[in-house]
Amino acid sequence: MLRLRPETLTELLEGAAAQAPDAVAIAGPRRRLGYAQFAAAARRVAEGLAREGVGPGDRVAVWMPNRPEYLVLQFALARLGACAVHVNTRFRPAEVAHLLGRARPSALATAWGFPGVDFPALLAEVAADARAPLRFVVGLDAGGAPRLAGLPVLPWEALDGAPERARDDAAPDSACLTFTTSGTTSGPKLVLHRQGAIAGHAHDVMRHIGTDAAGAAVLIAVPLCGTYGNASAMCGIAGGAKLVLMDRWDAQAADALIRAEGVTHWHAIDEMIEEVLEVAEGRPYAPFRVTGIAGLRPGVARLYARAEALNLAPLNLYGSSEMQALYAYQDPADPVRRTLGGGRPVNADAQVRARDPATGQFAERGELEFRAPSMFIGYLNDEAATAKAMTPDGFFRSGDLGAVHPDGFGFDFETRMGDALRLSGFLVNPEEIEAFLKRQPGVREAQVVGVEGGTVAIAFVQPEAGATLEEAALLEACRRDLARFKVPRRILPIAEFPVTQSPNGVKIQRVKLREMAEQVAAGASRQGS
């Protein structure tokens, strides 16, 4: 059946519910919803939030794992013309405080009792001035808790028990969500998107990879708080597919879900694929339509033969928080390119070009620049960062090095232009980690470099005069206050950084630091083998 391209998130969900009301929309954890039930729940929660004063232009932070309620809340906010501020589930108090200060949401939704992360306890540790804009907390599985960090708790059941809201304030140009991405030394940036971009991109991806096929089921194992997980869910909804949610990663559980739920589509990082292949022990799956692989480490191509043997239909792709994940897929019929990042954009009106960083002129290879309907609005409350990221004629400067295909439409991604890290699937500016380390007692200077294709962070710290730095203590501080994926593998004291003289002054030689880090990483690998 023909599906029209939606212009709002309300149209996206209501369209799917109208075409297949009884089809399973969301499978777990703890709850299954059909499409009609999903849409009705979004209408009820929208009414409940409206009665609490949430309306067009308001922002609500969402800090919870992959649960059906996460998606219900996102569509409820869209119906109100409000904006969901996605909070990375791995963030710690300092990072949450920065995000709240930047976004200034009027409410925050979180979950009690999640294994491994005590969200309410972490929120209580956020500085009071950062929590000041919040009027209340939406509590999932709150167990009757009346207050949290001085704020009233509104139980999820109260929202879900409201009557269905008929009014729809969704609009194509309404800001509907933010993702976090690598930012300045003070913290991550908030990438702001409008409803038309999110809903339209979901439709484009659906048409490209076939999530509207009979029996389509999409495994969502990466967090919904990021563009990779969110875009995967949205393209599934666009096609009326079943979304199979995992609230935490476990390869054994993923293998069981793939088989039990008949998964046909999956987007994952290469480490997840590798772990599932080990668990499968050679037992093939029912044929997939596509397994999109975000290959973040060298040697990802080696996974393809193993994944194909088990019917996973592996394919590399490209995306970003600014242009959205699943922006482009490589051609599955191309034996060379299909293992590379990049591909052909899913929207026919998308444009890509490369600019030589040395000359500033357009070239076949250089910094990739993009323009497409899926593009972000800008960085929330950060006009300077937005201006820096855009060209005068409206292209996004990706910061990625790549080559444009001869047809001028497809492209290949090669690496980051700068020193950004890709840790556990998240793009991280090393300055974020460096700034934290420099705030620790006895640390004069810090530098963080990436090894293993930028997927592992190694830190070097220079002590203040007379200070002695202990690696164990610094690592413990990182584990306490930073998201776990940002914690360096090693933090190595160094008396003096390697430097070089330049016309602009003394510069630290990060190339030499990277060589030193690679030696350390190689030594650790040999010891572990």
CB atoms within 10 A of CB 478: 22
* Domains parsed from the chain with CATH numbers: 9-248 (3.40.50.980), 421-528 (3.30.300.30)
pLDDT of residue 241: 98
Q: Is the per-residue pLDDT at 184 higher than 60?
A: no
Q: How confident is the model at residue 529 (pLDDT cuts 50, 70, 90)?
A: very low
Higher per-residue pLDDT: 181 or 503: 181
Say if CB 74 and CB 50 are below 8 A apart: no
Q: Which residue has the tokens 């954890």?
A: 29
Q: Mind listing the pLDDT tens digit for each residue in 2-36?
A: 688 999 999 999 999 999 999 999 998 889 999 99
Q: How far apart are CA 52 and CA 31, in angstroms?
A: 26
Q: The tokens of 169 are what? A: 């304030």
Per-residue CA distances from 260 to 27, 219, 241, 315 (Å):
11, 12, 15, 23
Strands 217-220 and 265-269: parallel
Q: How many CB atoms lie within 10 A of CB 205?
A: 31
Average pLDDT over every residue of 89-108: 94
Higher pLDDT residue, 500 or 421?
421
Do the bridges between strand 362-363 and strand 351-355 make them parallel or antiparallel, or are there none, so unpaired?
antiparallel
Nearest residue to 442 via CA among 414, 404, 405, 470: 470
pLDDT at 354 over 70: yes
The residue type found at 397 is R
CB 62, CB 178: distance < 8 Å: no
Model confidence over 367-391: pLDDT tens digits?
Answer: 999 999 999 999 999 999 999 999 9
State mean pLDDT over 353-375.
93
